[in-house]
Amino acid sequence: MNLYEYLLEGVKHFTLIDPDKSVDYLKIARHALEAGTDGILVGGSLGIKEEQMSRVVRDIKTVANVPVVLFPGSLTQLTDAADGVLFLSVLNSLDPYFIVGAQVQAAVLIAKHYPGLEVISTAYVIVGDGGAAGFVSMSKPIPYTRPDIAAAYALAANYIGFKAVYLEAGSGAPQPVPPEMVRAARRAFPRVLIVGGGIRSGEAARAIARERPNVVVTGTLAEEAPEKLGDIVKAVKRP
């Protein structure tokens, strides 16, 4: 089974590790794996260099029995040590660099240097707060109260042919993507739907998981309250 097929199966929990923030990334990875997470995303908006990324991914691979996937915030976050890459295009950026400019550069890097890396084309859609991802990518976030606009983006992503849509409220966002918005995007998009940003409780994770996205992501929690991860994972898998 390749990564895409794995992502399509049921509702999964993924843990985001940002090498710029997590000094003790192996400890976080171990915690997340013990809690039953189904995959690890590695990446961040700022401050990660290439050697660091490949070292962190290689180290995590030594303890992980689940896929380790790149979630690159920039061109320096590519390595073939991972099982795949979310090839992100920030659909609601106002700057073409984040929609297709960086991707043109990344495509050549991947084809030349990491041809074995599984590429998952992902429409990255910034919602609400947006966090650092929204700010850095010059996006115009979708208001929390407009699930219809999220659905329109998801529909466009479907017709364009993206393999995945990632609804992102931003790392550490005060409020996650509302379940109604996940529902609207789910109706519009038949392939891999990923939701993350600001999920801090089992309750919030459950409300999102009930809308049947394919992946629910938590990052900040794994750093700040790893003891809560078990509840979140349970809520995602048995909503």
With a CB cutoff of 8 Å and minimum separation 6, the contacts of 201 are 228, 231, 232
Helices (H), the chain: 3-8, 25-35, 50-63, 96, 102-113, 131-136, 147-160, 179-188, 202-209, 220-224, 229-237
Q: Considering the rule CB under 6 A, would residue 73 count as an interface residue with ligand 1GP? A: no
Please identify, among the stretches 52-60, 87-95, 105-113, 192-200, the one whose residues bind ligand 1GP according to the rule CB under 6 A: 192-200
Q: Considering the rule CB under 6 A, would residue 77 count as an interface residue with ligand 1GP? A: no
Would the annotation count 172 as a binding residue?
A: yes
Residue 219 near residue 18 (C-beta atoms within 8 A): yes
What does the block give as tokens for 13?
A: 């929990």
Q: Considering the rule CB under 6 A, would residue 39 count as an interface residue with ligand 1GP? A: no
Residues in the chain: 239
With a CB cutoff of 8 Å and minimum separation 6, the contacts of 141 are 92, 126, 127, 128, 129, 130, 134
Nearest approach in angstroms of CB 116 to ligand 1GP is 25
Would the annotation count 16 as a binding residue?
A: no
SS (H, E, C) 28-60: HHHHHHHHCCCEEEECCCCCCCHHHHHHHHHHH
Nearest approach in angstroms of CB 114 to ligand 1GP is 22
Would the annotation count 18 as a binding residue?
A: yes
Would the annotation count 220 as a binding residue?
A: yes
Please identify, among the stretches 32-40, 97-105, 122-130, 218-226, the one whose residues bind ligand 1GP according to the rule CB under 6 A: 218-226
Dihedral (Cα; 99, 222, 53, 104), 10-degree rounding = -10
Binder of ligand 1GP out of 171, 184, 233, 236 (CB under 6 A): 171
Q: Considering the rule CB under 6 A, would residue 199 count as an interface residue with ligand 1GP? A: yes
Residue 120 near residue 89 (C-beta atoms within 8 A): no
Q: Considering the rule CB under 6 A, would residue 197 count as an interface residue with ligand 1GP? A: yes
Binder of ligand 1GP out of 38, 129, 168, 211 (CB under 6 A): 168
Nearest approach in angstroms of CB 221 to ligand 1GP is 6
Nearest residue (CB) to ligand 1GP, 112 versus 204: 204
Q: Which residues are annotated as a binding site for Mg(2+)?
A: 18, 45
Name the residues that contact ligand 1GP, by CB under 6 A: 16, 133, 168, 171-173, 196-199, 217-221
